[in-house]
Amino acid sequence: MKILVTGGAGFIGTNFIRMMVLNHREHKIINLDKLTYAGNTDNLSDLVDYPNYSFYVGDICQPDHVEPVITGVDAVVHFAAESHVDRSIQDAAPFVITNIFGTQLLLDFAREARVSRFIYVSSDQIGGSLLPGIYLRENSPASPNNPYAASKAASEHLVYAAYHIHQFPSIVARLSSCYGPYQYPEKLIPLVIANALEFKPLPVYGDGLHVRDWLFADDACKAIYQLLLKGRIGQIYNVGARMEKTNLEVIKRILKLLDRPEKLITFVTDRPGHDRRYAVDPGKIERELSWRPQTEFEEGLRKTIDWYLRNIEWLADTRSSSYREYYESLYSSRFAVEPTKPEF
């Protein structure tokens, strides 16, 4: 298959492309990425001479960037997005533009190019905050609570509409929280690893008891590949690891593995409207495709930490001046307030 991957220079896209180019050489991968702050060409620089890989810098919102690369492809795996909730709270406009408008534009061109599969990579956040014991199912109503989640929900609906109206061969892969190598250090796990390595305070929102289902990136990529080969068109598939942990549990595990003191944990003012718990029911993909995550949380965390330790330069380059500016803008006022005590 000739596969167009959007957003391949970001976190999950990088893991997906590396898996495909290195382990599935029968496919040809074309990567289209705008290289926003979250995209990094170093991630894939060792693949440039592979005959089954090509890279184009381009914006999914620009027809003249999309048309030349989508013509003649068999499938699209669409990762490209603005992906960070805190940034969406600071400024929602880029999320509406890339995640909603960009997805629609890509759908239109993919339909014209008569692709045979279109995988849209969505998020468990579309379901909003769930009470303990409740799981987001594929047919649960969308109930997003922040601009990022709202933009992902909107584009899920657009992807479904293309199927419903035009029988367009789309599939939604709805992932839970992913972690692993190459994740930009604004997200919880790499941020904690990066700060802990330097004995810097670890900002923890609110009481730190927000729950996420942690899915190792490798496992997410294998699920997406299975969906590309065998998923039913017009369907949504939840992809989760049944690995629910509070943020505090995650942070304490990282501190233990890095041999750093828990006193680095610093409670800061919570994110406004912070969803308490996300959790998907991945039963459908387990039943239909026999997909199961292969990586236990502890093992995935060790692999992730090992990767960041072996790639200290990547981490340093990524935490450039623009990262520092953003980090300051987000956390400087929050550190100033009285820390919230955790409830156990």
Which spans of this chain sit near ligand NAD (rule: CB under 6 A)? 6-7, 9-13, 33-36, 38-39, 59-61, 79-83, 98, 102, 121, 123, 152, 175, 177-178, 184
d(CA 334, CA 3): 43
Find the shortest distance in angstroms from Cβ 118 to ligand NAD. 13
CA distances from 334 to 122, 277, 340 (A): 30, 22, 11
Instruction: Give 182 or 267: the residue with its C-beta nearer to ligand NAD.
Output: 182
Nearest distance from C-beta of residue 211 to ligand NAD, angstroms: 14
Q: How far is the CB of 287 from ligand NAD (least distance, A)?
A: 21
Question: Nearer to ligand NAD by C-beta: 33 or 286?
Answer: 33
The nearest distance, CB 264 to ligand NAD, in angstroms, is 23
Q: Are the beta carbons of 273 and 344 closer than 8 angstroms? A: no
Closer residue to ligand NAD (CB): 37 or 266: 37
Residue with Cβ nearer ligand NAD (260 or 304): 304
Please name which of 278, 149, 271 lies closest in space to residue 207, comparing C-alpha atoms: 271
Task: Using the Cα atoms of residue 139, residue 141, residue 143 and residue 149 in order, give the sign of their dihedral.
Answer: positive
Of 185 and 260, CB closest to ligand NAD = 185
Nearer to ligand NAD, 11 or 260 (CB): 11
Bridge-based pairing state of the strands 244-246 and 211-216: antiparallel
Token couple for 3: 């596969």
Where helices occur in the chain by DSSP H, the ranges are 11-23, 63-70, 85-90, 93-95, 103-112, 147-166, 188-197, 217-230, 247-258, 283-289, 297-310, 312-318, 321-336
Question: Given 3-state DSSP classes, what are the helix, strand and coil percentages for the chain, each rounded to the nearest 5?
Answer: 45, 15, 35
- 149: closest CA among 173, 186, 123, 174? 123
Beta carbon of residue 236, minimum distance to ligand NAD (angstroms, whole number)? 13
Q: d(Cα 251, Cα 201) in Å, to the nearest integer?
A: 12
Nearer to ligand NAD, 173 or 264 (CB): 173
Whole-number Å distance between alpha carbons of 262 and 269: 19
To ligand NAD, the closest distance from the beta carbon of 337 in angstroms equals 27
Supply the Cα-derived Rg of the chain in whole angstroms. Answer: 19
Which CB atom, from 13 or from 169, has the smaller least distance to ligand NAD? 13
Least CB distance to ligand NAD at residue 220 (A): 8
Specify the residue, 220 or 264, whose C-beta has the smaller distance to ligand NAD. Answer: 220
In the bound state, the residue with its beta carbon closest to ligand NAD is 10
The owner of tokens 């492309």 is: 17
Q: Minimal distance in Å, beta carbon 181 to ligand NAD?
A: 11
10 Å CB burial of residue 124 (0-12, 13-18, 19+) is buried
CB atoms within 10 A of CB 287: 9
Please state the closest distance from residue 32 (CB atom) to ligand NAD, in A.
6
